Amino acid sequence: MKINKLYLKNFQKHSDLKLEFKDGVNVIYGQTGVGKSCILRAIKWIFFNEGRTSDIRKEGTKQTTVKVTLDNNISIERVVSASKNQYIIYKGEEDKVFNSIGKTIPEEVQELLELKTIDVDNESLIINIAKQISLPFLLDKSGNFRMKLFNKLTGSEITDLVLQSFNKDILQLSRKEKLEDEQLEEKITDLEEIKDEKNKKEKIYKDYKKNYIEFQDKLEELNKYNTIKEKIDKNKENTKNAETLLSNIKTIKEEDINNCKDKINKLEKYLDLDKKLKKIDFSFKDISDKLKQIFIPDIDISYFKKLIEKLSIFKEKQTKINSINKIKLNSQEKLKTIEEKQTEYIKKYKELLKESGICPTCKSKINEDVLKNIKL
């Protein structure tokens, strides 16, 4: 970018000044106090918003204007009055106005002017314009200050920040990975213990279920025998009543005798069933004693649900660890690429120094020994 024209209106000593610049070196000269420095301050004012309105406005005027025309035929104008504080871009037939300008120049204006201040050690530096009666470029600054400025201009500062950011991220990921590994090992141990406990509970539950089914079968069989016993007892009572009645009968009919025989036969059968029932009673007592010896554990179903939830958490942890490993691998690959580019940039920088033959900071001659001692 190059300035072709500069127009000042009511700016300090100048009421109406128009300047045209040619290719190469342009020299502005004149007696002291005629306004040479005002031109430099006008350039700083429009390019960097440097200077207060009360200081730049010509005394007795109401509006101050500075306008520059660039080599791409785009013009930019700064206008300040009691009611205006604006930048205007003249680009072809299109004019764009930016009002209410504060300390910051509109971004679109800065892009067209292609000049910005550079912040180094809390100091805003204009490297394109030197102050009056000042030492040659940056010789009044320390070597550390010049190195920081050089890093900003070459982009090395960004590389350093990127490396610091990657190192910080890698350190955090490593710590997180270590913590997750420790927690995973602890959870795996807990899981093995829970599995053993679960297997024991399942075995107890199976044994209990088997005994319970056997008990139910025996109980059902016992109920059947109790029903038979009740019938036998009732038959015994009926038989006793029949014997009482028979004892009161003096003559017995043949039909009654036959009926009696039938009842006797039935009684014998009932007696046989009574013997069997006593055996069943004995078996039932034995079963009852065995059932009393069986321990029925109190199984907490919610405990197994918690185990399942823990297993789900373990799977999520494993997924996160896999994701972290992928991020770590990508970070390592990016870091390797950055290191390779940094090495390449350092090599190119030393080659440029070698071609120039003179160090830009200390002005000493460049040779192989000097290049070896240069560290970036």
| Residue 96 DSSP class | E
Taking every pair of Cα atoms in the chain, the longest distance, rounded to a whole number of angstroms, is: 176
pTM score = 0.40
pLDDT digits 0-9 by tens, 157-180: 666 666 677 788 888 888 888 888
pLDDT digits 0-9 by tens, 10-28: 999 899 999 999 988 888 8
- The CA distance from 208 to 296, in Å, is 6
Taken in order of first residue, the domains within the chain and their CATH numbers are 3-116 (3.40.50.300), 162-352 (no CATH)
Average pLDDT score over residue span 123-136: 64
Question: Above 70 in pLDDT, residue 304?
Answer: no
Closest listed residue to residue 104, CA positions, set 144, 33, 186, 49: 49
Average pLDDT score over residue span 75-100: 89
pLDDT digits 0-9 by tens, 251-297: 556 676 677 777 777 777 777 777 777 777 777 677 667 666 665 55
Average pLDDT score over residue span 100-118: 80
Question: Above 60 in pLDDT, residue 312?
Answer: yes
Question: Above 80 in pLDDT, residue 228?
Answer: yes
**pLDDT at site 275:** 78
The values of phi and psi at residue 279, to 5°, are -60, -40
Q: Which residues pair with 96 in a beta bridge?
A: 89
For the record, the structure tokens of 60 come out as 């007795």
CB 361 within 8 A of CB 146: yes
Question: Above 60 in pLDDT, residue 309?
Answer: yes
**pLDDT at site 206:** 87
- The CA distance from 369 to 376, in Å, is 15
**Letter for the amino acid at 299?**
I
Q: What percent of the chain has pLDDT over 70?
A: 76
For the chain, what is the mean pLDDT?
A: 79
Question: Above 90 in pLDDT, residue 67?
Answer: yes
**pLDDT at site 69:** 92
